[in-house]
Structure 1
């Protein structure tokens, strides 16, 4: 770890709480802002933030009452909330962000970095946006002030936009979170590095009735061989798109090995070992789960868009989107507010690639 920073975290869910605890435990200063205004009420009243599991301790992060206060009192801004909340939170932050104030997005959703930089350019403000392919940790928020941390990841894929500022983005993340980052070849690579949407598609699609019935069920224990094969096929589709673009991304096997510290095997076997170790986690107990409502429009749809640009259609991803839309009676292809604002469909692959390097959208 390097120098001490004041890090403003936009979000108040499990990842935001866990990240705040990690930073405080590491000697950094964290401040939380709940966009809804409800997620930090108990903390604002003086209760400590308690972390349990892979990280233990009691902490007292700062609490911001608004986006303006969060930005004003922080040196670094860190987004830690579901993809469907990114646009509204970015819109709240944009009027207040300062020149060269670093922003970290964990995990990056749907070209949000381009949206942020485009809107800041209209203000005449430029800054580095560092994007992660996944989150620092996994877990659940188990109370108003409690974060249950299942695992802290040893490796996280990272890129910075504009690409020329990658060295400072990497150095900042290492100062804050330690030597766990793998630089990737830009924003497109990171957009193809989040495995949650494909993995959650396989898990949710094949366990939907458990979710609807509100059952308590082992996620790792229900990634059976057939479910595992579906997840592997989805992964192969994503990796093929990356290869067509000349990009290197982590495979599902590397993801499970590095995230959960189990030997490489079939995905069903790796999940079975997680289940045996008691760290396989519980599956969603409701159909109103981020596994679908976030990961379909902000994950599967994004991979499908990139696949079409690359000339490698993501047939399984697109089929999954259509199936979930039929299951839920809604059109998930139209629920991604960031994609609809960016209008990437009007751009060529070369224009998208250039924008991902420079952070500047063509007009």
Structure 2
């Protein structure tokens, strides 16, 4: 298959290299162009997989999408809306689009844009990326880990199983179909962890210190994360979903034995460093707050479910950053009252 990968940070090239290692072809495009700078015709890959992965670097998105059998979009959430609007006129009818990871309810935004254009495509929403990777230089990449399993949902909901098989073919690991795309939004554990770490390390972040995320998961931070996670899990249950706990997600992603969070944190810190935030960059915190915690608050309010810890975390983080972190552009035009039908069938054509 030919996979068009849109986004050239670390995950996009990592996913491209993984697909190539499994016998597929990959085209790589960077929205701003900087991500593909230094890449000629191949990536030098080390880590969990190693070798040379041949990729086609596309100078424009139309060339990346031309002849693609599947499209993978991996860009930061603040760039996701603009990228989706840009590519809709160029997407071929019926070609699957995978959002890796899927932020907020972006699959419904893409489906609405396609409906306006009178076209259909199965949309896959991945709870987490298929690789954990880092860029070492222009054409050098390290694959740090491959998840054992990735949750996946789709618009329309009935496309989840064929999309899961497609993703397994492309990337190798198991993909677990979820009932609907809301499950993907609720399965993301990073907002819980990042919010707890930001609240407990704000002076360290503001001072621009070097610090390790897992090394700073003290018992107090872990207790806060568990309380936030309990509200996320309760919200998922209210919407009919059973999603992995924070501990289960860290076990899957980091490969350490599941147990008490402080014990897992020590094992993760010993396995590899994971740098924490440096500077109160609103854009970085918005990934966790705007497209995670604040979204969950909206969903909780729609079901009359109180989420006091989550609400307090959002309020305190907004106060500390001096910015509103609740404006989710990926919810544009979405009527939460129609959410069940939209998740099942997508928008009317």
Normalising by structure 1, what TM-score?
A: 0.91
Q: Pick one of 279, 282, 288 that aligns with 2:275.
A: 282
Q: Give the unaligned 5+ runs of structure 2.
A: none
CA shift at 1:255, angstroms?
0.7
State the match for 1:133 in structure 2: 127
State the match for 2:116 in structure 1: 122
Q: C-alpha deviations, 1:92-138, integer Å up to 9, x for none?
A: 11011111110001111111111111111111101100111111122
CA shift at 1:39, angstroms?
1.4
Normalising by structure 2, what TM-score?
A: 0.95
State the match for 1:11 in structure 2: 7
State the match for 1:358 in structure 2: 345
CA distance in 1, matches of 2:238, 2:155: 22
Contact in 1 for aligned 2:207/2:279 (Cα 8 Å):
yes
1:1-363 matched pairs, under 5 angstroms: 5-43=1-39, 46=40, 48-276=42-270, 278-288=271-281, 291-334=284-327, 336-339=328-331, 341-344=332-335, 347-348=336-337, 351-360=338-347
CA distance in 2, matches of 1:226, 1:166: 39
Pair 280,182 (structure 1): closer, same or farther in 2 beyond 3 Å: farther
Pair 289,139 (structure 1): closer, same or farther in 2 beyond 3 Å: farther
Q: C-alpha deviations, 1:227-278, integer Å up to 9, x for none?
A: 01111111110000111122111111211122212122111110111122x3
Pair 30,353 (structure 1): closer, same or farther in 2 beyond 3 Å: same
CA distance in 2, matches of 1:179, 1:343: 32
Cα RMSD between the aligned structures?
1.8
Pair 124,47 (structure 1): closer, same or farther in 2 beyond 3 Å: closer
Q: Give the unaligned 5+ runs of structure 1.
A: none
Contact in 1 for aligned 2:160/2:178 (Cα 8 Å):
no
CA distance in 2, matches of 1:306, 1:146: 41
Q: Secondary structure of 1:176's match? A: helix
Q: Secondary structure of 1:204's match? A: helix
Contact in 1 for aligned 2:161/2:177 (Cα 8 Å):
no
Q: Secondary structure of 2:305's match? A: coil
Number of residues of Structure 1 aligned to a counterpart in Structure 2: 349
Contact in 1 for aligned 2:180/2:344 (Cα 8 Å):
yes
Contact in 1 for aligned 2:10/2:135 (Cα 8 Å):
yes
Q: Secondary structure of 1:150's match? A: strand
CA distance in 2, matches of 1:51, 1:208: 35
CA distance in 1, matches of 2:257, 2:44: 31
Contact in 2 for aligned 1:185/1:248 (Cα 8 Å):
no
